[in-house]
């Protein structure tokens, strides 16, 4: 209950305070390339329920396009605005809406697409899906260079499934086992600090 109250209060405050920036970014995305402002993708949420996550669109709009749900290195589909948004994680800010709605939390295991949730070990799937997914978590902080690492791989999906995903799941399990508001505050502080350093 306390975590949800904190999430709602912080998300609402964030949306209000950041509204000028969000509007400016939305306009930039719209003017930079044809297509919608938001990118919506199906993710697996708490209890295995599917929801559609909000992100600022960072790639060229290709209706009906299919492909891996991974961004690898310097992906040619990334727009000029998208390069900046991704570098500073600004494309994730619309997920404050998902927090407000109740699909996500500020801190929690990052939500995966069903394709990769299928690779979760049976003994971890129920545990990791017992909490709301988050905007950030310790695993995200440990893998800020994920795109570059996949870009160096001859088989990005195999590298993700066999190397990166298992490491993320171990860190996500540790978070779930030790979850508390104090831990969430530390993760949020580390996230802000990491993004500041990246800038």
User: Could you tell me which residue, 77 or 4, shows the higher pLDDT?
Assistant: 4
How many folded domains does the chain comprise?
Answer: 1
In whole angstroms, how far apart are CA 102 and each of 3, 13, 80, 173? Answer: 12, 15, 32, 21
Q: So what's the pLDDT on residue 21? A: 96
In angstroms, how far is the first alpha carbon of the chain from the final one?
35
Please name the residue ranges forming H helices in the chain: 2-17, 19-32, 80-87, 95-101, 114-117, 122-128, 138-142, 146-151, 156-159, 165-177, 181-198
Q: So what's the pLDDT on residue 52? A: 97
107 is in which domain, residue-wise? Answer: 2-198
Mean pLDDT of the chain: 91
- Cα–Cα distance between 137 and 49 in angstroms, integer? 20
For the segment 99-116, the average pLDDT, to the nearest whole number, is 96
Report the predicted TM-score, pTM, of the whole model to 2 decimal places.
0.89
Positive or negative torsion for Cα 65, 70, 76, 82: positive
Closest Cα partner for 83 from 63, 112, 110, 60? 60
Q: So what's the pLDDT on residue 146? A: 85
Above 80 in pLDDT, residue 72?
Answer: no
Residue 114 phi, psi dihedral angles, 5° rounding: -55, -35
The pLDDT-based confidence of 70 (bands split at 50, 70, 90) is confident
Neighbours of 163 (CB within 10 A): 13
Q: So what's the pLDDT on residue 87? A: 86
For the segment 21-30, the average pLDDT, to the nearest whole number, is 97
For the segment 58-63, the average pLDDT, to the nearest whole number, is 84
Q: So what's the pLDDT on residue 136? A: 96
With vertex at residue 79, the alpha carbon angle to CA 77 and CA 81, rounded to the nearest 5 degrees, is 155
Above 60 in pLDDT, residue 165?
Answer: yes
Q: So what's the pLDDT on residue 122? A: 92
What is the pairing mode between strands 134-136 and 105-107?
parallel
Longest dimension (CA), the chain: 46
Q: So what's the pLDDT on residue 67? A: 60
Name residues whose C-beta falls within 8 Å of residue 24's C-beta, 6 or more positions apart in sequence.
Answer: none
């Amino acid at each position: 209950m306390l975590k949800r109250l904190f999430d709602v209060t912080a998300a609402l405050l964030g949306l209000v305070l950041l509204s000028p920036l969000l509007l400016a970014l939305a306009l930039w995305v719209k003017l930079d390339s044809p297509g919608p402002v938001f990118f919506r993708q199906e993710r697996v949420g708490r209890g295995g329920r599917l929801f559609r996550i909000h992100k600022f669109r960072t790639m060229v709009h290709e209706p009906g396009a299919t492909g891996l749900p991974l961004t690898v290195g310097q992906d040619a589909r990334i727009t000029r605005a998208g390069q900046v948004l991704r570098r500073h994680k600004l494309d994730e800010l619309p997920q404050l809406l998902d927090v407000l709605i109740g699909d996500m939390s500020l801190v929690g295991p990052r939500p995966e697409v069903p394709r990769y949730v299928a690779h979760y070990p049976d003994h971890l799937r129920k545990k990791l899906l017992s909490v709301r997914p988050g905007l950030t978590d310790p695993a995200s902080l440990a893998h800020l260079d994920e795109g570059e690492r996949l870009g160096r791989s001859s088989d990005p999906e195999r590298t993700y499934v066999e190397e990166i995903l298992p490491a993320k799941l171990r860190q996500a399990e540790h978070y779930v086992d030790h979850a508390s508001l104090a831990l969430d505050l530390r993760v949020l502080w580390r996230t802000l600090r990491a993004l500041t350093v990246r800038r």
